[in-house]
Amino acid sequence: MASFEPPASGTPLKMGPDGKLIVPDDPIIPFVEGDGIGPDIWKASVRVFDAALEKAYGGKKKVVWHEVYAGQKAFDEFESWLPDETVEAFREYLVGIKGPLTTPIGGGIRSLNVALRQRLDLYVCLRPVRWFSGVPSPVKNPGDVDMVIFRENTEDIYAGIEFEQGSEDNAKVLAFLKEQFPQRFSKIRFPDTAGIGVKPVSQEGTARLMRAAIQYAIDHKRPTVTIVHKGNIMKFTEGAFRNWSYEVAEKEYGDHTYTWSQWERTVAAKGQEAANAEQDAAKKAGKIIVKDAIADIALQQVLTRPTDFDVIATLNLNGDYLSDALAAQVGGIGIAPGGNINYSTGHAIFEATHGTAPKYADKDMVNPSSVILSGVLMFEHLGWQEAADLIVKGIETSIENKTVTYDFHRLMEGATKVKCSEFGDKIIENMG
């Protein structure tokens, strides 16, 4: 029987006055194992996490895992898809990890993941995309893909402000537009049968995302940050996102960055040669080049010129498409990790990016790498780099040895197929 028992031991993480996490040697980390394939994956993952910590720190640092409930399991046990206790645990203990959750059909909640992100204001969706040698890929040089996407997580059309065609509210919104903004209303091609959505994009929301992206580039010595937007069409949302992002780079990180916006101004004032010289000097000085790309072109260029991209800062919907398209280049969603983070409060939930794959539930078959690599992100976030590195090494070697789960096995020649749990064993064996 599930229950919300308090953790037996351990120390909560705290946020320091300097805005940095205070990480004890025995942090309490809440986890949701997830629905469908979640329990299989969690069992394998937690063994890998504990083994890496033991190997890295010989018992000096360890996680006190604290189970909390969401999704189907929570509904079955507590008649709530997302009990308040779960949100409170993530709030109190700051950092947590979760498996995939069934999306409830009907009833107020659209997506549990979106609800959690909104309630904890986890404004960055962090999606690093890199290739592990040997992973089957549809592109020629998957090793060129090494990008980190900062997807804005709280705004854009994901705010969920929609008005269903034919509803009373929809009629009110259309009537308001017709009365107040007749010219813009006239652009609605079929007003009688149109659903309406609202796309809020704010300066604060943009600025905090961009700060996180630039700080990451500084901390990880990444040479560029690319702002991906559709500002050519949506000027006051996506276009504003571009402009505000450049503003943050120039006003707050001027010592660390050189922007294309600066380059354009120098071209206008002094000509292209002078602007190029200025940019070259900035590169030599180790400054991060902040540039931008229209979303549709970016989706082409991440395929054709992947080395042009390092850190990407983008809005919610663009980020959604871009992260899955990029994940496909390096082995698909079975291996793509994710983190949802509020860098100001310290709240963070790391999570599988795939769903519950119900047809594989309880078969001990699927690839646990998405949750395991999310754990790597979590350990990096805690500053436990040694444990993170051991896990990455374990995964790299296991894949190089061609011992893989069914999803990679069917695409790799001469590979040995192992179960989800056995893949966890291999990672532990191969930590070196």
Residues near ligand NAD (CB under 6 A): 37, 100-103, 113, 333-334, 351-352, 354-357, 366-367, 370, 407
Nearest-angstrom CA–CA distance, 428 and 212: 32
**Does residue 48 contact residue 424 with C-beta atoms inside 8 Å?**
yes
- Cα–Cα distances (Å) from 76 to 69, 82, 98, in that order, read 10, 11, 18
What is the smallest separation between the CB atom of 157 and ligand NAD, expressed in angstroms?
18
Q: Is 296 a catalytic residue?
A: yes
Nearest-angstrom CA–CA distance, 125 and 351: 10
Catalytic residue, chosen from 121, 144, 308, 320, is: 320
Nearer to ligand NAD, 102 or 262 (CB): 102
CB atoms within 10 A of CB 168: 8
Catalytic residue, chosen from 61, 73, 98, 230, is: 230
Catalytic residue, chosen from 25, 76, 169, 296, is: 296
**Cα 276 versus chain centre, distance:** 34
Q: Is 320 a catalytic residue?
A: yes
Nearest-angstrom CA–CA distance, 408 and 423: 12
Nearer to ligand NAD, 82 or 388 (CB): 82
- Cα–Cα distances (Å) from 409 to 190, 289, 417, 429, in that order, read 50, 40, 6, 19
Reduced to 3 states (helix: H, G, I; strand: E, B; else coil), residue 197 is strand
The tokens of 314 are what? 């983008």
- To the nearest 10 degrees (0 to 180), the angle between helices 369-382 and 420-429 is 40
Q: Which of 168, 235, 160, 167 is nearest to 199 (CA)?
A: 160
Exposure of 55 by Cβ count < 10 A (0-12 exposed, 13-18 middle, 19+ buried)?
Answer: middle
Nearer to ligand NAD, 10 or 142 (CB): 142
132-163 core/surface letters (b: 16 or more CB in 10 A; e: else)? bebbbbeeeebebbbbbbbbbbbbbbbbeeeb
Nearer to ligand NAD, 306 or 334 (CB): 334
Nearer to ligand NAD, 24 or 355 (CB): 355
Shortest-Cβ-distance residue relative to ligand NAD: 355
CB atoms within 10 A of CB 230: 20
Nearer to ligand NAD, 109 or 274 (CB): 109
Q: Is 230 a catalytic residue?
A: yes
The tokens of 121 are what? 């204001």
What is the smallest separation between the CB atom of 45 and ligand NAD, expressed in angstroms?
11
Q: Which of 122, 199, 119 is nearest to 157 (CA)?
A: 199
What is the smallest separation between the CB atom of 407 and ligand NAD, expressed in angstroms?
4
What is the smallest separation between the CB atom of 327 and ligand NAD, expressed in angstroms?
11
Q: Which of 277, 274, 242 is nearest to 261 (CA)?
A: 242
What is the smallest separation between the CB atom of 351 and ligand NAD, expressed in angstroms?
6
Catalytic residue, chosen from 158, 216, 253, 258, is: 158
The tokens of 388 are what? 């993170």
Nearer to ligand NAD, 32 or 390 (CB): 32
What is the smallest separation between the CB atom of 55 and ligand NAD, expressed in angstroms?
24
The tokens of 114 are what? 């979106």
What is the smallest separation between the CB atom of 33 and ligand NAD, expressed in angstroms?
12
Instruction: List all residues 6 or more positions away from 328 whose beta carbon is below 8 Å from its beta carbon.
Output: 138
**Catalytic site positions:** 158, 230, 296, 320
